[in-house]
Amino acid sequence: MSVATSNDPSNRQFWQIRNHRLTWGSRTYLMGILNVTPDSFSDGGQFNRLPVAVAQARYLVEAGADILDIGGQSTRPQAEEISLQEELDRVLPVITAVRQESDIPISIDTTRAAVARAAVAAGADIVNDISGATYDPAMLATVAELGVPVVLMHIRGTPQTMQQLTDYGDLIGEMRTFLTARVDAAIAAGIPPSQIAIDPGIGFAKTYAQNLEILRRLPELRLPGCPLLVGTSRKSFIGHILNQPDPQQRVWGTAATCCAAIAQATDILRVHDVREMRDVCRVADALWRQGNP
C-alpha cells in the first residue's frame, strides 16, 4: 500500500492512495457508502451478506465512486453497539474480497482502533472515525503507526444519546473548537497534518435547523490544510423538508444538499447513490470550481 501526501505542480495538496490521486480543489470526490449491517437507517440488511456486499462494491466502483467506505457498526440514532468480534466478522471479509479485484481506495468506518488495524491489514487505506477518535483512546496512535489518512467527525455523545445533546450556545463556534482540538490531538499523536480530513457530522447531535445552518456556513468550519468531507445522503432532515419518510426516496433532495456543499468547496461527499451524485458533481464542479471538472 502506498499512501502519501504532498503538493502537485499547482501547489494543491493531495492524497496518493495506490494508483489514485485525490487532489483537493480540483474536483469533488465521492465516497460510496457500503454498510454491511442489518440495521443502518437507509439500507440496513441489504448488503450484509458477502456476495451481495461485493456486488454492491463493484456497482459503486462502476458508478464512479472514488472511495469505498465500508462499515459494520450502524451509527443511526439509537443504534446498539455490537461486539468487536462481530464488527470484525462483518467488515474484514468484504474488504479482503474487494481488494482482490480492485485497487479502489477503501476507508474503514469504525471507532475502534483494533478494527482499524485489522482493516488496514486486510487492504483498507483510510480510517473514518465518526467519534473524531474520542471513543477509543488508542485510535490516533494506531492511525499514526499505520501511516494512513484519517477522517475526524464532529459528534456529541453516542448514537444512543446524541439526539438529546443538541443544545449549543454557538453551534459553528463549538463545532470548530471540537474539530480543531481533534486535529491538534491527531498531530500530537504523530499523524501528519496533510493526512487529516474533517467532517461536520451532519445529523449527529444536530437538529433539523442546525443541519441547515451547517450547510449554509461550511466555510466557517474549514481548517487549514484539512480536506472537508460532508455526508448528507438520505438523512432525516431531507425527509423532513420533502415529507418523505422513506430514506431511499430522498435521492434528489440529497442532490440539492450536495450542490450546496460543492458551492462551498467541499472536497469529499459521502453518498449512497453514487451514479446520480456523480452527474450532480460533474455539473456543480463545472459551475463552481475553477479549471476543468
Annotated catalytic, 270?
yes
- The three-class DSSP label of residue 240 is helix
The catalytic residue among 99, 235, 275, 282 is 235
**Measured between alpha carbons, how far is residue 82 from residues 1, 69, 89 in Å?**
29, 19, 11
Catalytic residue among 21, 270, 275, 289: 270
Residue 62: φ, ψ to 5°: -65, -30
Q: State how beta strands 20-23 and 13-17 pair.
A: antiparallel
Q: Burial, 18: exposed, middle or buried (Cβ in 10 Å; 0-12, 13-18, 19+)? A: middle
Please state, in angstroms and as integers, the Cα–Cα distance from residue 81 to each residue in 37, 108, 115, 126, 220, following that order. 12, 17, 14, 22, 33
Catalytic (active site) residue 206: no
Half-sphere exposure of 232 (CA within 13 A, CB side): 27
- Report the catalytic residues: 235, 270
